[in-house]
Structures are given as C-alpha cells and as structure tokens.
Chains A and B, each alone.
Chain A
Amino acid sequence: MIAPNEPFTQVGDGENEPYPNATTNACKLCTPLGACLAFRGVQGAIPFLHGSQGCATYIRRYLISHFREPMDIAASNFSESSAVFGGASNLKTGLANVLTQYKPALVGLATTCLSETIGEDMPGHLRDFAQTPDGENAPPIVSVSTASYRGTHIDGFHAAVRGLVESLCPSATPGDRTITADSPVAVFPGMVSPADLRELKRSVAAFGLPLTLLPDYSDTLDGPSWADYEKLPSGGTPVDAIRALCHSRASFEFGRVLAGADTTAATLLARRHGVLPYRIGVPVGLRETDRFTELLTALSGNPMPVELVAERGRLIDSWVDGHKYVFEKRAVVYGEEDLVVGLAALLAEIGVVPVLCASGGRSGRLAAALRAAAPELDERTVIREGADFADIAEQAAALRPDFLIGASKGYALARKLGVPLIRCGFPIHDRIGGQRILHVGYAGAQALYDRIVNTLLERKQGDSPIGYSYL
C-alpha cells in the first residue's frame, strides 16, 4: 500500500478494480513461460514442463512468434490417469526420451498448475529417476516450482535463474572461493532481449572485466541461419560457468522490483559464497545505466571506456536536439514491472510524462521502485499493478496519451485510441525483429529515444494538412 505522502496516484489493487473477478486481455503470461525462456539461455539446455503437452505447445508457439527461432520444450504429457494417479512414470519416460534425443547438457524442469495442484513430489521423482539406467548418467536436472496460479511469467523467469544457482552452486565449504584477475562479474540481467544481452556483454567487456551472464539467450534465440540442423541451438551460459559463479568477484541483478524479493540468484550467491550483490535497476535510460557503469568502474578499477563515454555524450547531445518534440508528451507504459520502471525513468529524463505505468505483476513494490528510479515523477503518473488491458484501456481513455510504449499486445488499444505504439519488451508478435530491440545501456537509450522522437515527428507530419518535408 502507498504511504500518505505518496506523490503518485495509485489505483486498483484488488479492492478498487472495476471487474475484480475477471481478467480481460491479460498484461502478463503464465509462470512456466518465463522459466522456459530462462532455461533456453543455458548452453545445451532443454526446458521440460511437468504437465499437459498443451502448455509446452502454447508456450513454444508464443515464444517462436516473438523470437522466430526454434524453441523446443519437452513435456511429460499428462493424461487423465496421470492427473489422477500422478505423473511419476510420465516424467521418467519423458526424461529418458529427451536425454536420448537431445543429449542435453542440462534439463530445465518446470512444473505447471496441473502438477502443482496434484502435489507432485519433484525431488522424490528425481531421486527415483537417478536410480534408473537413464538417470545414472543424466546431466544436471534443475527443477523449479512454477505453478501458473502463483505470480506471472517474470516470476517463473527469476525462479529458473535462482533454481540454476541453487542447484549448481551448492553451499560453500570454507576456502573454496578464489578470486583472481580472471574471476568474472556475474550478471543476472532479467528478462531482456537478445540485443540487450549482447549490449551488456559489450559494456562489461569494455571495462576489461570477465563476465558470466545468466541466462544468455543472445545466440540461442537470435542465431544465424544454419548449415546443418542444431538439435539445441548453440550459445548460452555454459553449465560449468554457472557452477563457477561462486568465484565471481561480484554480482549484478537487475530490477528494482526484483530487489525487494527475499531469495534470488544474487542473494543466494551472497549468502552461500559471500559474492557481493549489486541489486540495481534494469539499466534503461541514462541514470540507471550510469549506476551500472559507475559500479563497473569501481569493480574494474578502470575509468569508463572512451567508447562508452562517447556514446553517453552523443545520447545527451541527441536529447538536446530533440527535447522540444517530446516535452510534456504523455505516455502509457506497460509490461513487466522492472521494464516499466526502466522505461518510465527514461521517459522522465527526456521530459515525457508517463501518465500510466501499468503491469500485470503484483509485487506491491512498483510504486516504490518508480519513485527511486525517477524521483521527478509527480501526481500525473498513475500506477497500476495487477492490470489487464481492459483496465489500461479504461485509464488510458481519460489520460489522453500521445503514445503507448510496450509489447505488441497493446496494439488493439493503440488502434482504438488512434495513437502510435512504440514496440518494446515481450512479446512483439506483429513485427519482425523483436529479439533485436535494444533497451539497455546508452545504446539502448539512444535507440529508444530516436524511435520515440521520430514516432512523434511522423505523427505530427502525418497529421499536418501541409506535410512539410523539412522539420
């Protein structure tokens, strides 16, 4: 709940929702989707859902439509009898078949609402499987609990990352952590795009720091055309690199909302191995990126690399060039809470008013995270957790936005309002290149800024009866 002197207007939170019992056009996806996506960022890993085959099929289709890359997800294919008597034998058969066919380096096992509701004993099933001939030589099987009635896809994503660290980096024995010049910085980037992952790798490398990025689907979900079929697309965080995370010199975990969670990959590494966690915002916009690069400067002992200094300089220069076109424009921002925080911070920096910040998530921490990332936001910003697109539409009609910014699922609303949609985040189902949208770093801020300004200019030009070609 909000503090009395809360500068934002927070609406809705169960009680005040106009339609509390029905969700219309959700602004969220189910938990297992996030887990599957995260597991795809581990080298040679195959995601495996314990539940009905439909879950895997739907999630595959949804992810393929965004990334336009193969996305194999196995499932234990529950039948009516497994729903009644349990899915142990299906799980065993399924794992054996997946190991035979894919020879994976890791199986990322996620539960579903079905297996959670019937109370499947996953540790027990996996112990039993380990006793079978197939299980004896099996690669690591990382199991996470992702009931779809608990949280949203972003919770599934973070649960999978935490699960990987939890199972592959067991508690330390004294003296087993060694820090050398080669010790990596661990970065848990959260659910960002393949382009973002590449940008993060570039930024950290520019500081001369070794990096372990988890997950890293920059190649697996945005790879080249193939000379021959790849059963599991190459790329991803090597399992050995995850095992070695305890030797990281520090960890970064992006997400101001996530930073309020008790147990995450970063807190586990800190608690078990003493790896210093930096839990900062997703580096979207100037200030959030500055926080990241300042910490990299401190960690590396190197000044900010000249290429990043130059990018930062060009970014601010472009903001000056375009500031009048965006000042006091009104934006509706929606998506995963931490992405919304980053985007709102960027919008505030350039003088756009995020009149509505909405998310399907319900962390209870969105307002505080926004306040911390963008202190200049005022009462004009309405904040909405647990929102669906019906809620967003209802709010937006009164807020008269100039544009929407978020995933392609906002297109219907943008069309209805007659305002442009600036596509970013996930999913992008009506354009190609969703995987290449850059959000993070100075380069991401530059890309987003140019698109925002040019979208508004195009709008102005199109609406003009004269149609100047010189603006």
Chain B
Amino acid sequence: MTSPVSQSISVLPARAASVTTVGSADAAPLACGQASLAGSVTQRACAFCGSRVVLYPIADALHLVHGPIGCAAYTWDIRGAQSSGSQLFRNSFSTDLREMDVIYGGEKKLGHALRELIARHNPKAAFVYSTCIVGLIGDDVGAICKEVARETGIPVIPVASEGFKGTKKTGYRAACEAVYQLVGTGDIGDIPPVSVNLLGDFNIAGETWVIQDYLRRMGVHVVATLTGDGRVDAIRRCHGAKLNLVQCSGSMTSLAKMLEKDHEIPFQRVSFFGIEDMSSALYAVAKHFASVDPAMLGRAQQVVREELEKLMPELRRYRQKLAGKKAAIYVGGAFKAFSLVRALRTLGMSTALVGTQTGDKDDYQQLRAMCDPGTLIVDDSNPLELAKFCLEKDVDLFIGGVKERPIAYKLGIGFCDHNHERKEALAGYVGMLNFAREVHASVMSPVWKFTPRRASLNSHLSTLNSPR
C-alpha cells in the first residue's frame, strides 16, 4: 500500500544496521544489544522496570520502591499476574522521596518506611528497589536493609535497579541476584526426585496454574514458581528441585545459571506459547526424567493428545477465517517472538515484521532462519519505524504491548496484547485457543471497514474520511 507518510519516515542512520529483511543479500548479524539511541523514542524501558516485572508476582513479599513517587505509581497493580493467596504484591509502596530527602539523604526515611510497612502488613520478605537517584544521593540501601532485617527477622533484600543502569535486561539480572538471596534457606528434605521449578513464568491470567496442571498430570512435582504466584517460602526451597524450566529466557536465565553453578540443577529453555512449543516443553521434561520415570513420556503424550483433542476442532474454525492474514510482532523478548511466529503459522497466518526490545545476535539468527523471505526483522524499534513497516507490509494484525496498540489502531489494524498487562491467558493449549479467539476477534471485526485507511474502496465513505 502506498503511503506518503511511510515513505517520508526513514530509519535513522545510526539504527540502519538494526533492521534487516529475511532473504536479503545483507547477511551481516543484526546490530543489537546496544544502548538505545537518544531521541529514538525506544519502546524499551529501564533497569528498574526489569527488576520490577520479575519480582512483582512474589505475592507475600513487600515490594518497596525507594525513590520519588513516579516509579511506584506507574507500576501499581497494572499487570495480570495472579496470586492464589496473598494480594499484598498488588499494592504500590514507595518512600516517595521529596526535595529535603534528596538533599539530606533518604536512608532514615527508608528505614522508617520499612518498619512501618512490615509492622502493618507482616510480609514474608521485603524487596527494596533502588531508583535512579538513590545511588546519586549516596543512600546505603544495603546497610538499612540489613539493619531492618535484623530487627524484624524477615529477609530485607536490596535490588540494584537504578533505571539508568540499562534496559530491562540489566534489571532482570539485578532481580535474579536479589531473589537468589532467598534460595537455599529452606528445608528440602521432602522434595520428590521428579521435581522442577518454573522460572520466568509470571502467572499472567493464571498461566502458571495451567502449566502446573499439565506437569501434575505427567507426575512432575513443582517446587517453586518464579515468580508467578510466587511465595517466599517456596523460593527458599527451590534449590531442591531437579530441573529448572526457564521460560521467557531473558528474564531468569541468570538465576538458572546460579542454580546450576551452586546447586548443580540443570536447566532447559522452554516456551509455553503455541502448540509446538508447549508440547516440546512437556516432552523435554519427560526426556529429562526418562531414567527415573520411563513411563513419563507416555503420560506427556497423553496430556498433549487430550489437550489437542479439545483444542483442534475449534482452532480449525479460526484457521479457516484467518488463513493468509499478515501479522507484525513487536515484543520484549525473542523467545516469545519465536513462539508467536510458530503460533501464527498454526493459524495459517504469516509474519511480515518481527522485532524485539532485547533480542541478541543468536536470537536474530534464529528468527532469520525461521521466518519467510521478505520478513522484516528489527531490534529496539520505535513508533515511527513500526508505523512505517506496518504501512509498507500492510499487515492485518499487530502483536505487542500497550505502547504499540495505538500505532495499530490508528492505522486500522487489529491488535493482540501479548504483554504482562494483559488479562487473558495465552500460555498452554488453552492459551493457544484464547490467542486464536483474540486474534480472530480483532482481525475479523467489522469495524475496520469503516476506518479511513481501510475504507478507500467504499466510495461514500472516502470523501468523509479524506485526511484533514
């Protein structure tokens, strides 16, 4: 589709190496893993955001944001991470630093705030997130945490999540280091030999429970879920599991590596999105435990069979409607992008554009290998580029987060929210069905034919819709 605006938007020269087309002569690795270009209006967030998203679902912990109010206010109960018990994590606690605190230091206020909140809410542990200015004003957060931990008898753990330190990835590492302080402090005597931890699943809309159900039917005990529906006491015992399943590889691989190094627990990267990836994950678990439980593979096959029998008839109906439609994907991590490319294929749809905020060189190589020729691949994109690409590729669907949604909607393009703010379960087999339903509900909606960009064939509307 020709669009004057898409032609007038150019990719900034400093970003040109971060965009490529599958099948093009240019085979150089995609430029990625760099700090976002100033003024590029990156869709990425900061280190604080990374730490906050990873630790947030630990439901019975106090999460105190040390800094001015914004960082706590913007992360108050926005995510779809569910808890089967304590709802403490859904509150937003902040030291709400003011000018005098910035001048004289925030340590005293932090100590008092921790004592007040621990007395009030009786949490199992407390995490203290540092924001941008905490390091600059010289607060010794570690010392305060130690002092309060000694007084209150609960772990009080600093998270080195100053926003400017980097992207979400930096924050993921800081979060893993923080949570690792709990690991190894619980009794693991009664943990059965066939046991796993779930890492990097955040129980968005109850997804962790979906996965746990599959594993239970296979005879696998789940020790700790990190951090979806997470509990401090379970995390204390997670070193007793025999295998770590790492979903959303970017966020918790560093924790898996620590557990491998110190506790000799192997890990496997998995994804629970889409039929293929979900099934591969279950088979991988069965293969891992084949020596202790040879019958598990059969049970895994049975789970997959049962689930597919329920899923496929309905999925086929959606596929008939959606086949041939084109999608754009722009998400945080590459593992999700891989799964989405496959899940779209299951629906008969193609991927015209795929990008991530935090993919690395290997991730982009894999995307190149799995996507059709002509697919655009982009690292650390921004609204103008994404709009340009959507117009050029004339996609029918955009899969992304809240920040991408208006780009799609303004251009008359369907949208599926695949971020942590969503309230729909998209993992597992049931998640694949929900995904298909949501894609179908957006792409097939009758509203698009009234939008000016799609109404060009509709003569009586074209004059009404002419650009201002």
Residues of A contacting B91 in the complex (Cβ-Cβ under 8 angstroms): 24-25
Known: A21-B113, A26-B96. A55 touches B163 (CB 8 A): yes
Could you list 15 A-B pairs, sorted by A, with CB under 8 Å? Answer: A19-B113, A29-B73, A48-B39, A64-B406, A77-B35, A77-B36, A77-B42, A94-B39, A101-B384, A114-B133, A117-B102, A149-B68, A226-B467, A229-B9, A229-B411
- In the complex, A230 Cα to B174 Cα: how many Å? 38
A21 to chain B, nearest CB (A): 4
Contacts of B99 in A (CB 8 A): 147, 149-150
Contact status A61-B453, CB under 8 Å: no
Which B110-143 residues have a C-beta within 8 angstroms of A? Answer: 110, 112-113, 116-117, 120, 131-133, 135-137
B56-88 vs A, Cβ < 8 Å mask (1 yes, 0 no): 000000001001111111111110000000000
- 9 smallest CB-CB distances across A and B, nearest first, come from A54-B46, A30-B70, A94-B39, A97-B39, A94-B38, A23-B96, A22-B113, A21-B112, A58-B74
- Is residue A72 within 8 Å, beta carbon to beta carbon, of the partner chain? yes
B317 on interface, CB distance cutoff 8 Å? no
Which of B43, B132, B164: most chain A CB closer than 10 A? B164
Q: Is B239 on the interface with A (CB-CB < 8 A)?
A: no
B410: chain A residues at CB < 8 Å are 69-70, 225-226, 229-230
Question: 15 other contacts beyond A30-B71, A73-B41, A226-B452, with CB at 8 A cut-off?
Answer: A21-B112, A22-B94, A22-B113, A29-B73, A52-B163, A53-B36, A54-B45, A57-B49, A65-B402, A69-B406, A83-B164, A101-B40, A117-B136, A149-B98, A229-B407
Q: How far is the CB of B309 from chain A (nearest CB, A)?
A: 37
A80 proximal to B (CB < 8 A): yes
Of the candidates B71, B73, B75, B102, the one having the most CB atoms from chain A within 10 angstroms of its own CB is: B73
Query: Is the beta-carbon distance between B37 and A77 smaller than 8 angstroms?
Result: yes
Interfacial chain A residues near B72, Cβ < 8 Å: 23, 26
B166 at the interface (CB under 8 A from A): yes
Does B468 sit within 8 A of A, measured CB to CB?
yes
B70:A97 contact, CB within 8 angstroms? no
Residues from chain B with Cβ under 8 Å of A353 in the complex = none
**B325 contacts chain A at the CB level, 8 A cutoff:** no
Chain A residues whose C-beta falls within 8 Å of the C-beta of B409 in the assembled complex: 68, 225
Q: How far is it, in angstroms, between the C-alpha of A152 and the C-alpha of B98 when the chains are bound?
A: 10
What B residues does A94 contact at CB under 8 A? Answer: 38-39
| Residue numbers in B under 8 Å from A26 (CB-CB) | 69, 72-73, 76, 92, 94, 96
B112 neighbours in A (Cβ, 8 Å): 20-22
Counting chain B CB atoms within 10 Å of each CB, the highest count among A48, A54, A70, A98 belongs to A54
Given that A60-B403, A64-B403, A114-B136 are known contacts, is A30 also in contact with B451, CB under 8 Å in the complex? no
CB distance from B433 to the nearest CB of A (A): 25
CA distance A85 to B116 in the complex (A): 37
Q: Is A32 close to B, CB under 8 A?
A: yes
In the complex, whether B31 has a CB less than 8 A from a CB of chain A is no
Task: Give which listed residue, A23, A62, A101, contacts B12 with CB less than 8 A.
Answer: A101
Residue from the list B38, B43, B46, B411 in contact with A90, Cβ < 8 A = B38
Contacting residues, chain A, for B45 (C-beta < 8 A): 53-54, 57-58
A56 close to chain B: CB less than 8 A: yes
What residues of chain A lie closer than 8 Å to B335, measured between beta carbons?
none
For the complex formed, measure the closest distance between the CB of B226 and the CB atoms of chain A, giving whole angstroms: 23
| Cβ of B291 under 8 Å from chain A | no
Inter-chain contact A114/B164, CB cutoff 8 Å: yes
User: Chain A residues near B68 (CB, 8 Å)?
Assistant: 30, 113, 147-149
CB-based nearest B residue for A29? B73
- A409 closest partner in B (C-beta): B76
Question: Which chain A positions have C-beta within 8 A of B465?
Answer: 225, 227
Within 8 A of B (CB), among A339-397: none
Complex formed: what's the CA distance from A234 to B48 in Å?
34
By a CB distance below 8 angstroms, the chain B residues around A118 are 136
A59 and B74 contacting across the interface, CB-CB below 8 Å: yes
B452 touches A112 (CB 8 A): no
Cβ of B44 under 8 Å from chain A = yes
Task: Tell whether, in the assembled complex, residue A225 and residue B46 are in contact, meaning their CB atoms are under 8 Å apart.
Answer: no
Shortest distance in angstroms between B12's beta carbon and chain A's nearest beta carbon? 6
Complex Cα spacing A62 to B421, Å = 12
Task: Tell me which of B92, B164, B405 contacts A80 (CB under 8 A).
Answer: B164
Q: Which residues of B contact A225 (CB under 8 A)?
A: 409-410, 412, 451-453, 465
Q: Within the complex, what minimum Cβ distance (angstroms) separates A71 from chain B?
A: 7
Does any Cβ of B come within 8 Å of A456's Cβ? no
Q: Looking at the assembled complex, report how far the CB atom of B229 sits from the nearest CB atom of chain A, in whole angstroms.
A: 20
Residue of B nearest to A429 (CB): B78
Q: Which residues of A contact B135 (CB under 8 A)?
A: 83
Mask of A215-239 contacts with B, CB within 8 angstroms, 1/0: 0000000001111111100100000
Collect the chain A residues with CB atoms within 8 Å of residue B113's CB: 19, 21-22
Q: State whether B133 touches A29 (Cβ < 8 A).
A: no
**In the complex the two chains form, is B92's CB within 8 Å of A24's CB?**
yes
Mask of B1-30 contacts with A, CB within 8 angstroms, 1/0: 001111001001010000000000000000
- A211-261 residues at the B interface, CB under 8 angstroms: 224-231, 234
In the bound complex, do residue B12 and residue A97 qualify as a contact, i.e. CB atoms below 8 Å apart? Answer: yes
**Distance (Å) between the CB of B268 and the closest chain A CB?**
31
Judge whether B67 and A113 touch: CB under 8 Å.
yes
The reply to whether A57 and B77 form a contact with Cβ atoms under 8 Å apart is: no
- Among B163, B401, B405, residue most surrounded by chain A Cβ atoms (within 10 Å): B163
Whether B165 is near chain A, meaning CB under 8 Å from some CB there, is yes
Contacts of B132 in A (CB 8 A): 51-52, 78, 83, 112-114, 117
In B380-413, the 8 Å CB interface with A consists of 383-384, 387-388, 391, 401-403, 405-407, 409-412
Please, which residues of chain A bring their CB within 8 A of the CB of B412?
A: 225-226
- Tell me whether B363 is interfacial, beta carbon within 8 Å: no
Q: Are A28 and B406 in contact (CB under 8 A)?
A: no
A399 interface contact, C-beta 8 A? no
Q: How far is the CA of A112 from the CA of B42 in the complex (A)?
A: 17
A165 close to B (CB within 8 Å): no
Q: Which partner residue on chain A sits nearest B102 by CB separation?
A: A149
> Which residues 212-231 in B have Cβ within 8 Å of A in the complex?
none
Contact of B74 among A20, A61, A72, A100 (CB under 8 A): A61
A422 located at the interface, meaning its Cβ lies under 8 Å from any Cβ of chain B in the complex? no
| Contact status of A74 and B41, CB under 8 A, knowing A23-B69, A117-B102 | yes
Which residues of the partner chain B approach A65 to less than 8 Å between Cβ atoms?
A: 402
Closest chain A residue to B448 by CB distance?
Answer: A225
Q: Are A70 and B407 in contact (CB under 8 A)?
A: yes
Beta-carbon contact of B9 and A231 below 8 Å? yes
- The answer to whether A23 touches B166, judged by C-beta atoms less than 8 angstroms apart, is no
> Are A229 and B391 interface neighbours, CB within 8 A?
yes
Contact A22 B387 (CB under 8 A): no
Asked whether, in the complex, the Cβ of B5 is within 8 Å of the Cβ of A230, the reply is yes
Give the chain A neighbours of B163 by CB distance below 8 A. Answer: 52, 54-55, 114
Q: Mark B453-468, 1 if CB is under 8 A from A, else 0.
A: 1000000000001111
A75 at the interface (CB under 8 A from B): yes
Contact of B69 among A20, A97, A148 (CB under 8 A): A148
Partner of B71, one of A58, A61, A100: A58
In the complex, how many angstroms separate the beta carbon of A27 from the nearest chain B beta carbon? Answer: 9
Q: Is A228 a contact partner of B136 (Cβ separation < 8 A)?
A: no
Task: Tell whether B101 is near chain A: CB-to-CB under 8 Å.
Answer: yes
Q: Which of A91, A98, A225 has the most CB of B within 10 A?
A: A225
Say yes or no for A93: interface residue by CB 8 A criterion: yes
Q: What is the CA–CA distance of A95 and B72 in the complex, to the nearest angstrom?
A: 28
Given contacts A51-B132, A61-B74, A64-B406, contact A97 B40 (CB under 8 A): yes
Q: Which of B6, B120, B466 contacts A19 (CB 8 A)?
A: B120
Is there contact, CB below 8 Å, between A22 and B69?
no
Nearest B residue to A234, CB-CB? B468
- For residue A68, give the distance in angstroms from its CB to the closest CB of chain B: 6
Within 8 Å CB of A231, what residues of B?
A: 5, 9, 384
Chain A residues 397-423 with CB under 8 Å of chain B are 409, 412
- CB of A96 within 8 A of chain B? yes
Do A98 and B46 touch across chains, with their CB atoms under 8 A apart?
no
Is the CB of B109 closer than 8 A to any CB of chain A? Answer: yes
CB distance from A15 to the nearest CB of B (A): 14
